[in-house]
Structure formats: C-alpha cells, structure tokens
Amino acid sequence: MTISLETAASTNASSVVSSHFINGEWTDAGGPTFPVHNPLNGELVGEAAAGGSAEARAAVEAAAAAFPAWANLAPGARQLLFLKAADIVERRTEELVELMAVEGGASRAFSSFQIRLSAAMLRQAAGWGYLPAGDVLRSDVPGRTATVTRKPLGVVAGFTPWNGAFYLAWRTFLLPMAFGNTTVIKPSELAPRSAGLVHAEILEEAGFPAGTFNVVTHAPGEAPAISDVFFESPAVRCINFTGSDRTARILGAQAGRALKRMVLELGGFNPVLILDDADVEESIRAVTFGAFLHQGQVCMNSRKVYVHSSLHDEFVAGLKARVETLKIGDPRDPAVIIGPLINDGAVEQIAARVQDALDRGAALVTGGTADGRLYPPTILSHVPADAICSTGADETFGPLLVIEAFDDAEEAFRASQNTPFGLSASIMTRNRARGLDLAARFDTGIIHINAPTMASEASLPVGGVKDSGWGRSGYYAIEDFTEVRLTTVSREPGRYPF
C-alpha cells in the first residue's frame, strides 16, 4: 500500500470566504466567522461567516420575494441561465478540483467525476421547461373540461453535505429551481464553499436573478438557529436534506409539527452479490470502485460483498492485490485515489469497528492501520454476524468493506436485505435474466446488474427506500418539487341535487 504525505503546491483556490449570499449580494464582512480546515493536515484554508436566525430569515424573505418572477420566467430565459452556469463550471474545473481537495479531501478522480455530473445535470435541467406542462383529462360531467398542471411549490430550503459536496449541492437546489422554485441553502460547516458558496459565485456570474438562490453558513453546532427558521417560516414549502438518517429523524420531527414536505437522501448499506457465474475480474474492478471511491464516504459506497464460495478465494486475492495499488495521500496529487477522512471522529469510528470485528474473530485481509486521517482501504473476511460493521443496522462511513462467502444464493439474498437501509445494491452475474429476476426482489431504490453500487448518471433517478429516505433526483424530482393543480371549465349549466 503506497502512502504519500507530500503536499502539492498550494494554489489560490482555498476557501477564503467570509460572506453569506443573500438576495444577489455578498453580505458585508466583519461579522463573526469560523475556521475551515484541510482534513489532511488541519491547515487553515479559510474563514466562513457564522450566520444565524437573522441571516436565515433574510434569505427566506429574499427567496419568497423572487419566487413569482422566477416561477413565471420564460423557459428559454431559464434555459440560457442553466447553460451558461454549466459552461462556467467547466471553465473553473482546475480551481474546483483544488477546492474539493483542500476542503473535503476529494481526489482528482472524484472531484472530476462531480464536475462532469454537475455540468451534465445543468444542461439536462435546461430543457425541462419545454416539457409538457400538464394533461387534459376526460370528465363524466357533460361540457366540462378538466386540466391538470404542475406548479412550483415556492421556497425550497436545502441542507447540503460535506461529502460529494459540489455535485450534491447542485442536486439539492438545482432540481427545485429547474421546476420554478427559489431556494435557500445551508451548506455543511465542514465544506461551506464547495457545498454552496462556490455555487453562488457561479450562479451570480451566470446572471441568475437576485433572490432565486441564497446561501447562509453557520459555525459548528449552530445549525439549529438556521434550520428552525426554515421550519417556522410559512414561505418555506419544502425541506431538501442530504445526510444521515439520525439527523433526518430530528428534522422529520420538526417537519411533522410544521406540516412541511421533506425530500430525504440518506445513507445506505449497499450490498453486492457475486453469483457463481460472475466474471471475477469485472467483479473486482466494480467492487474496488464502488467500495473505495472518496474513501468510502459516499452514501452509495458498497459496504458488504456476498461472494459465492467457489469464487471466494480468487475474488479476495484479486481484490486485495488491486486495492493495495491505490495510492494514498494528499488528494491534490493527481495519482492519489485515497485521500483523508473528513475528521478525527471518522477515523475513530472506522478504527473502532475494525477492532470490534477483529475482537470477534474476523480476519484482516488488508489495511486496518491509520496514518493520521489517512485510512487505507480495509477489507475484512470471516466477520461474525454480530459485528457492528457486518449487521447492516448502521452505516460505516469510510473505507471498510466486509466480505462474506455463501453457498446458497437465496440465503445470501435474504441476508443482504436484513438492513433498515434500502439505497443501492449490485448483482454480478453473466446470466442477465437471472440477474433481473433477482433484482426485482430487492427492496432498494437502485439496483445495478454488472455495475458498481456507485454507478450514477445525472439523468437517472437516484434515491432510496426505508431508512435511506424518499424522493428522487433527475426529472423524477418533479414529483417532489411541484404540486398538481386541477382546473375545470364548464361550458354548460350545472345540474345540482338541491
């Protein structure tokens, strides 16, 4: 396993930001701020504004005031804005790669992946305004015409995460905006610029109207001051949250009291089933990517592999050899694939779960020893079912993969479903019909055959079931960010019972 701690040359793409973005304006500097640190080495990369309820209310008011004009903007005008934003994203690629490295520990491979997806999503959303706006329905009442149209909700408040920050932030606010809503974003305090503020820079340059997109940042531990405003304000019609199921339960309780609509993109356990007829080399490649992209800090990362016993030894040996070639170190080095975990708590969680499994009799295939916040891809086999990392009851957010051999595919399938999560899963088999039959039985929002659990495209409807949340991305998000309105017109006098 190659570990490189050499630091690439610094650039000026650090997260030096001390302003919120409200109503098309960067607020004056000089208020309270909080530090943002590089997860690799703890170096200060910037200061961000420490906002609270006053800033959140101002942002919501700005979004509410901008909503009528944005909702009624001609689709061609909105299209030009989205297309220009996509061009700006691509033009700023090198700066964005640097930003995601120093603020979130993203490798060049992962940050480039996010940039491509973001530009593609912007260009796809640019055309949605020209899609049919509704339906004409038949009525049993003579002379009556019934139409159903979709209308934007109003203000959508979004919570954007630190992991996959750049792309997931676009997904959080772009989808509501594409359907005519205005937005307020609260980025993670761990990556405030790559999770929201840099997007404001891009949309401002693209010429988006003031108030359509607003960003309020906060210091660690101060999120409730902002989120409370979102739930209390009548103007906010929907909360769009990407994060953990634990935080979602807290927000969901608030949403229930406030009768707010919520869209939730949460965690996943994301099993892989490698059947006895699978291509072993392709399975190794898919699992390596699916398990260890961004150090296992993505909700769709593979967490457990069930491999047929006839392929087990070959698969484990090949996987071990492959992951040990992945370079670990400063994500600004283009050769590095595995960067740092986001903070010390993340390292401690992985270390504790690896040790728990080893104490219960698991075998360490590779990895398992941290170097600061650099934690190598770690593979465990022969893990007892009661080990925390193996139960599927809680998401282990990092580069830890559990491998379990099976003889009976039906038993492996049932075991893979014994989890409260239902985000993604993969089946590796040469028999596509067999794969489709098995896939139909999975209780997940996503199921891939002969592809990683991480397979993603901007146009595809990503989302989970059970404790992995509800709602979908892509055009299917129209169900979450619009409401259906029935309008009838009667051409003949009505007939009434009284």
Token output for 56: 């959140």
Q: Which of 189, 158, 276, 211 is nearest to 22 (CA)?
A: 211
Supply the DSSP symbol for 80.
Answer: H
pLDDT of residue 495: 86
CA 127 to chain centre: 23
For residues 330-351, average pLDDT: 97
Integer angstrom CA distances of residue 306 from 270, 355, 411? 11, 21, 10
123-169 pLDDT per residue, tens: 999 999 999 889 999 999 999 999 999 999 999 999 999 999 999 99
Q: Does the annotation count 265 as an active-site position?
A: yes
pLDDT of residue 6: 33
C-alpha span between 338 and 292 (Å, rounded)? 8
For residues 72-89, average pLDDT: 98
C-alpha span between 396 and 301 (Å, rounded)? 10
pLDDT of residue 494: 86
pLDDT of residue 8: 34
DSSP H helical segments within 163-222, as ranges? Answer: 165-178, 198-206
Helix (H) or strand (E) segment spanning residue 251: helix 245-258
For residues 418-445, average pLDDT: 97
Q: Does the annotation count 238 as an active-site position?
A: no
pLDDT-derived band of residue 15, with 50, 70 and 90 as boundaries? Answer: very low
> Three-state SS for 26?
strand
CB environment 124-158: b (16+ within 10 A), e (fewer): bbbebbeeeeeeeeeeeeeeeebeeebebbbbbbb
For residues 221-226, average pLDDT: 96
Using only the alpha carbons of the chain, give its radius of gyration. Answer: 24
pLDDT-derived band of residue 320, with 50, 70 and 90 as boundaries? Answer: very high
Please state which CATH class domain 17-266 belongs to: alpha beta
- What angle do helix axes 93-104 and 75-91 make, rounded to 10 degrees? 70
Say whether pLDDT at 259 is over 60: yes
pLDDT of residue 16: 56
Q: Which of 55, 61, 103, 265 is flagged as catalytic?
A: 265
Q: What is the mean pLDDT of the chain?
A: 94
Pairing of strands 134-137, 482-490: unpaired
- The HSE-up count of residue 486 (CA atoms within 13 Å, CB side) is 7
Q: Judge residue 108's burial from the number of C-beta atoms within 10 Å of its C-beta, 0-12 exposed, 13-18 middle, 19 or more buried.
A: buried
Task: Write down the domain spans for the chain.
Answer: 17-266, 271-449
Q: Which of 367, 414, 371, 161 is nearest to 266 (CA)?
A: 161
C-alpha span between 51 and 43 (Å, rounded)? 23
C-alpha span between 362 and 418 (Å, rounded)? 20
Integer angstrom CA distances of residue 86 from 79, 135, 205, 475? 11, 31, 11, 17
Write down the residue that tokens 């260890």 correspond to.
Answer: 292
463-492 pLDDT per residue, tens: 999 999 999 999 999 999 999 999 999 999
- 271-449 has CATH 1.10.3720.10 classification: no
> Three-state SS for 88?
helix
pLDDT of residue 133: 86
Write down the residue that tokens 């009505």 correspond to.
Answer: 494
C-alpha span between 256 and 126 (Å, rounded)? 33
Say whether pLDDT at 2 is over 50: no
Supply the DSSP symbol for 300.
Answer: T
More confident residue, 14 or 160: 160
> DSSP of 133-178, one letter per residue?
-EEEE--SSTTEEEEEEEEE-SEEEEEE-STTHHHHHHHHHHHHHH
